[in-house]
Amino acid sequence: MMEAAVKPAPAATTSERPYLQIAGLVKKFGDNFAVDHVDLTIRQHEIFALLGSSGCGKSTLLRMLAGMERPTSGKVILDGQDITMLAPYDRPINMMFQSYALFPHMSVEENIAFGLVEDKLPKGEINARVMEMLDLVQLRKYAKRKPYQLSGGQQQRVALARSLAKRPKLLLLDEPLGALDKKLRQQTQLELVNTLEKVGVTCIMVTHDQEEAMTMATRIGIMSDGHLLQVGSPSEIYEYPNCRFTAEFIGETNLFPGQVVVDEPDRVEIESAQLGSRILIDHGITGPKGMEVWTSIRPEDVRLDRRPPANSHNAAQGKVEDIAYLGSFSIYHIKLASGKVVKSTVPSSRWYEAGEEPPTWGDPVFVSWRSDLPVVLTR
């Protein structure tokens, strides 16, 4: 087994007992693996985000948890109970649907009460629970309205209230904010997290929006092609990606393919044709010499200079090809001799502090980085 990330990631807190266990879960449609042997453990009160582009299998995984798809093989254990083969209506799990799936012929309170009525709770308790939910999402005034009389944000809150009304052991959110416009989405993200934390429900959400996942989730699972590639906190995922897909999917990065030429306990050198110089890393990786690796360096870690840096490694000369000025910082696209374009995020204060003119299109510049910053990826 190879350790993919070079820097040791902080140990995950594993003190709490597993609440939801997904073991070897597989879903095949015909010959295609929609979900391919996924193992995942979720702790109680966690907000977990499954992040991936469309068709990566995240929605299928969620639907299997809800009981709407039958797994081809594998097990799902929730709070000690094997729920793998339970029908959706027998699971202590509720879901908030992507387009909310509110019942159009029922009022807001009837929508929220639906699950409670199905559970045959006493009328008084249903009313009390509906009121509690309406207060939670601040929609008391709208109790008698029909869904189509509400705005998108209000509908989203009704859907949330309806899925929380039965006090599920696990709440599933399918693209919870996907139907809202961008501005409303950012505002709603924190509101939604606050509500979920107030209720203390264990929660798995599915999203393709990395910002949404980073803002809302305590942990993120990156999915691609049916596989769960990496699981970790937002900062772990960003700072210690374990593969090229994660590195490129979360945030921006510069990737340099290369071969390991020196592999010592405290230093590794990688020959990269694209960079034109050696990449030096000040801690070792365990891997055979000559191995094909990718070095990932984030744009904000790439330093831009007019003068050549002192080191001959971790550096290259190039020309400014493009500048995206974004106010407090600019993104420079530097074209190296090899044709490789390197992105560098430069704070606007950088040139002012150095007493220099900012480089402009076509200027010769140097890119460089500290040897402790890159991440070496083996897959």
Partner 1 sequence: MDLKRLLKRVKPGRGAVIGLPYLWLMVFFLIPFLIVLKISFAAQDVAIPPFTHLVSYGDDGTLNIALNLANFQFILTDALYADTYLSSLRVAFVTTLCCLLIGYPIAYAIARARPEIRNGLLLAVMLPFWTSFLLRVYAWMGLLNQNGLINQFLMATGIVHEPLQLFHNDFSLYLVMVYAYLPFMILPLYSHLVKMDLRLLEAANDLGARPLRAFWKITLPLSKNGIIAGAMMVFIPAVGEFVIPELVGGSDTLMIGKVLWNEFFDNNNWPMASAVATFMVLLLIVPIALFHRFETRQLEGEKHV
Give me the residues that bind partner 1 (CB under 8 A), please. 66-68, 87-89, 93-95, 97, 99, 101-105, 114-115, 118-119, 146-149, 162-163, 166
Q: Which is nearer to partner 1, 43 or 91 (CB)?
A: 91
Shortest Å, Cβ 156 to partner 1: 14
Longest dimension (CA), the chain: 77
Shortest Å, Cβ 159 to partner 1: 9
Shortest Å, Cβ 170 to partner 1: 12
Shortest Å, Cβ 110 to partner 1: 10
Shortest Å, Cβ 209 to partner 1: 21
Q: Which is nearer to partner 1, 5 or 134 (CB)?
A: 134
Alpha-carbon span 173 to 48, nearest angstrom: 10
- Sequence-separated (6 or more) residues with CB below 8 Å from residue 185: 177, 209, 212
- Mapped onto helix, strand or coil, the DSSP state of residue 126 is helix
| φ, ψ dihedrals at 283, nearest 5° | -150, 155
Q: Which is nearer to partner 1, 151 or 187 (CB)?
A: 151
Q: Are 77 and 83 in contact (CB under 8 A)?
A: yes
Shortest Å, Cβ 171 to partner 1: 11
Which helix (H) or strand (E) covers residue 192, if one does? Answer: helix 182-199
Nearest to 348 by CA among 325, 319, 320: 325
Between the two ends of the chain, the Cα-to-Cα distance in Å is: 12
Q: Which two tokens stand for residue 317?
A: 């000369």
Shortest Å, Cβ 116 to partner 1: 9
Shortest Å, Cβ 17 to partner 1: 26
| φ, ψ dihedrals at 101, nearest 5° | 50, 45
R_g of the chain computed on alpha carbons: 25
The CB-side HSE value for 366 (13 A sphere, CA atoms) comes to 15
Q: Which is nearer to partner 1, 101 or 255 (CB)?
A: 101
| Number of residues that this document lists for the chain | 379
Q: How many CB atoms lie within 10 A of CB 311?
A: 14
Q: Which two tokens stand for residue 28?
A: 């095949």
Q: Which is nearer to partner 1, 147 or 234 (CB)?
A: 147
Q: Which is nearer to partner 1, 167 or 379 (CB)?
A: 167
Q: Which is nearer to partner 1, 113 or 376 (CB)?
A: 113
Q: Which is nearer to partner 1, 66 or 250 (CB)?
A: 66
